[in-house]
Chain A
Amino acid sequence: MRWNISYRETWLHRTNPSLKLLVMLALFVAVLFVHNPNVLMNFSLGFLLLFFLYTGYPLKYLLLFFVPFFVIFVSTASSMTMFGEGTTTWFQWGLVHVTKESFLRGMHLGFRALSFALLGLLFSLTTRPVYLFYSLMQQLKLKPKYAYSFLAGIRLLPIMLEEFQTVRNALKVRGADAERGLNTKLKRYAIPLLSQSIRRAQRIAVAMEAKRFSNQTNRTFYYQIGFSKYDVIFLLIIIGITALACYTGIVLPYIPVTDVR
């Protein structure tokens, strides 16, 4: 059981992962402080374009990845719209009270959630964990100890998934799947899976040390990850999208509200 989706490499894949991570984190924080819904809408739109055009995955999968986040967008936006407070009433039915203010705030929150989702998706879809950790070690001086433990952990995930399937079958055969109660169910799965993982993690750690892995910092690297013209392109495009979103949001607003607070 593995995720084996082939994709086309784009400039987003070739950007330095540490740079990408820092820029994405900065944007994350920046989005928190945007209160103009026009700007946020433009921003989301810009990243939506990046997501569909430059992550290099087939459209089918992109849509599939996007579905859960779209659900989040709808649920965040609608709950704020229907239950938020406001003065200009548009519609009222029992507990549901839609006002102009609550609608705008709902939309704003929805787009904020969407921006977060897009930033996260863009990063995770275009970054191989191995490159990320090599880059973190080389550019941000992350200690190899942490980098390789994370990588070893990632390797365990598909193994755990397979084991989960086995445990499920085993429980089914023994009739244990008929038992009620979340607590019992959780225990049935957690104990065998965790005990296997803990033992496996300990063994991997010993195996790594047996291969002379130590805390020394002057190691050589199989993947030399540096900076290239793609990083310039990346920065230019991100700055471009952000600037354009701000400019059009302020100069050519869709709605005449500039602050939803």
Chain B
Amino acid sequence: MELVAFVDQLRLKFPGKEGLLFKDLSVSFSRGEKVLLLGPSGCGKSTLLQVLCGLIPHSVDIPMKAKHIQVPDNWGYVFQDPDSQFCMPFADEEIAFALENIRVPREQMDDRICELLQMVGLSIQPHTNIHELSGGMKQRLALASVLALEPDVLFLDEPTAMIDEEGTAEIWKTVKQIAHDKTVIVVEHKIEHVLDFVDRIILFNESGDMIADGDAASIFQTYKSVIASQGIWYPGVWEDYRKKRRNEQPASASDHEIIYLKEMKGYRKKEAKIHIDQASVCEGEWIAVTGKNGAGKSTLLHALMKLIPTEGTYELYGKQLQKTKQIARHMAFVFQNPEFQFVTHSVWEEMAYSLRLEKRTEEEISRKVEQLLAAFHLEKQRDQHPYQLSMGQKRRLSVAASIIGGQKVFLLDEPTFGQDAKNTFALLELLESYREQGATIMMVTHDEQIVQHFATRRWTIAEGKLVHDEPIIRKTTADEELGKEDASHEMEYKLS
């Protein structure tokens, strides 16, 4: 087999970090292979991709050394963040940028652009503002502009990490259609989408050592427990989780009503973007707010927090509150991107912040913070800057810092977004433990499994209206015994 890319005895070191990330790593790829790189976050998979295509050290200055290295002649690279890989404002201009770089004559550009958009299944006008596209569409546009370079080798660096379930499925469908004759090297955490596509898996451990390399199916079978312990979303992860979590209590909620809405409307730019005819929330409920992108789920949470103007009846503990500040005493709000919520320079201070504002005593603050640091597994990070934490730690900190004031109602906007399996379960369990102590949770989510396993009620939002309000019938242990059929059925649900 002809090799398209290889590296022999790679050594690489991140500035400011101790020790080598890779120590004499050798790996090679043949033409037409579809390879999945797996490993816990921070093990250097993305770095390896960048070395293999020459971005390191050419564009990103990281000291490295290799005995031999071969970079493919024609390659394309799709990055993780859909908002930071475009330099032009319109879709056609972005693709044209790539075409210009490889000096395609002007006369051929229009046809090429249409052709590429069609190839990735984007049925938009070529001159569409990129800002108007959804995350999944942006990533497919990124793919189109990379395909404009006519690459033989495609590097995909977690292209779906910041994309919802629907977008993820679309992206992988597209990749499968266009990449059959190309070499594809993928880093991906949601592996259920790629298992039927890749034919080789390379597995890394935390310190960047290769622990397995071989045929996809056999690696997945042999190393399943390793993969599971790394927090990767593998097929059947929920099934395994449910088996492990034996002491699942039937969801219980009181009938003590704490939120009451009637003819409530929330406005953005003087336009009613959310309308609730009538609804109420009882203490101890876990409400999953679901619906399509742009349906108005986040708007609903913003309205409940009074971050946008509202009209109609909205009672919290029987009172109509007007100000965000008053509401924040009872309700905690966790935003999608935790970084925007951080206001201090250390984890400890971040937790203490709200308490300081309320002028609690130092003694009380210290006691509460320590208690939550332990509950949220952040004790070792207490002195770190919030920005230096890992994805999972940042998320936990943002939740902990939001709820430390003793609020009894939690609003969460897709808190498990972009989190690996391990962190997702850890967070959900924490929330569940609070719920068992009487907290009420309203959470926007796209993940059907979370709805089925944790929520007590589902609100479906469509076009700015609450269209369904239904209780979730939790599967009892007896159902679980009934077997596999059920679980595989659920699996399909998630894949579709």
Contact = CB atoms under 8 A, between A and B. Distances in A.
Contacts of A154: 89
A172 B332 CA distance: 11
B343 A188 contact: yes
Contact of B106 (A203, A214, A220): A220
Given A173-B305, A173-B324, A178-B357, A151 B340 contact: no
A221 interface: yes
Interface in A188-205: 188, 192, 195-196, 199-200, 203-205
A188 B353 CA distance: 13
Which 9 pairs show the lowest CB-CB distances between chains A and B?
Answer: A222-B96, A152-B87, A207-B85, A203-B84, A212-B101, A209-B59, A210-B77, A200-B84, A170-B341
B495 interface: no
Contacts of B106: 220-222, 224
A2 interface: yes
Given A158-B131, A176-B357, A206-B79, 11 more contacts: A148-B97, A155-B87, A172-B324, A173-B307, A175-B325, A175-B357, A178-B325, A204-B86, A207-B86, A221-B100, A222-B93
A244 interface: no
A220 B105 contact: yes
B58 A209 contact: yes
Interface stretch (A56-64, A97-105, A161-169, A235-243): A161-169
A215 B120 CA distance: 29
Contact of B353 (A174, A214, A220): A174
A169 B84 CA distance: 23
A212 B302 contact: no
A208 interface: yes
Interface of A: 2, 130, 148, 151-152, 154-155, 158-159, 163, 166-167, 169-176, 178, 188, 192, 195-196, 199-200, 203-214, 218-222, 224
B402 A195 contact: no
B146 interface: yes
B99 interface: yes
B53 A210 contact: yes
Contact of B337 (A155, A166, A174, A176): A166
Contacts of A170: 335, 340-341
Contact of B340 (A166, A205, A218, A220): A166
A180 to B, nearest CB: 12
B360 to A, nearest CB: 13
Contact of A213 (B79, B81, B101, B339): B101
B277 interface: no
B343 A171 contact: yes
B100 A173 contact: no
Contact of B85 (A148, A169, A199, A204): A204
Interface string B322-357: 001100100011010101111100000000011001
A211 B98 contact: yes
A214 B340 contact: no
11 contacts: A152-B87, A171-B343, A188-B343, A203-B84, A207-B86, A209-B59, A213-B97, A218-B103, A220-B105, A220-B109, A222-B96
Contacts of B109: 220, 222
Contacts of A208: 87, 97
A175 B354 contact: yes
Contact of B145 (A166, A175, A211): A211
Q: Which of B53, B86, B87, B324 has the most CB of A within 10 A?
A: B87
Contacts of B100: 219-222
Contact of B89 (A130, A167, A174): A130
A155 B340 contact: no
A163 B340 contact: yes
B179 to A, nearest CB: 17
Interface of B: 53, 55, 58-60, 76-77, 79, 81, 83-90, 92-93, 96-106, 109, 129-131, 145-146, 149, 302, 305, 307, 324-325, 328, 332-333, 335, 337, 339-343, 353-354, 357, 387, 401-402
A207 B79 contact: yes
B104 A220 contact: yes
Contacts of B60: 206
Contacts of B342: 192
Contact of B302 (A169, A211, A224): A169
Contacts of B99: 220, 222
A205 to B, nearest CB: 7
Nearest to A188: B343
Contacts of A175: 325, 328, 354, 357
Contact of A151 (B83, B85, B88): B88
Contacts of B55: 206, 209-210
Contacts of A172: 307, 324-325, 328
Nearest to B77: A210
Contacts of A211: 97-98, 101, 145-146, 149
Contacts of A221: 100, 106
A203 B81 contact: yes
Given A166-B335, A174-B402, A219 B86 contact: no
Nearest to A187: B343
A91 to B, nearest CB: 46
Contacts of A218: 103
B98 A212 contact: yes
A149 to B, nearest CB: 8
Contacts of B343: 171, 174, 176, 188
B149 A212 contact: yes
A196 B339 contact: yes
Contacts of B79: 203, 206-207, 210
A232 to B, nearest CB: 24
B88 A212 contact: no
Nearest to B53: A210
A159 B129 CA distance: 13
A152 B93 CA distance: 12
Contacts of B129: 2
B59 A205 contact: yes
A204 B97 CA distance: 13
A130 B93 CA distance: 9
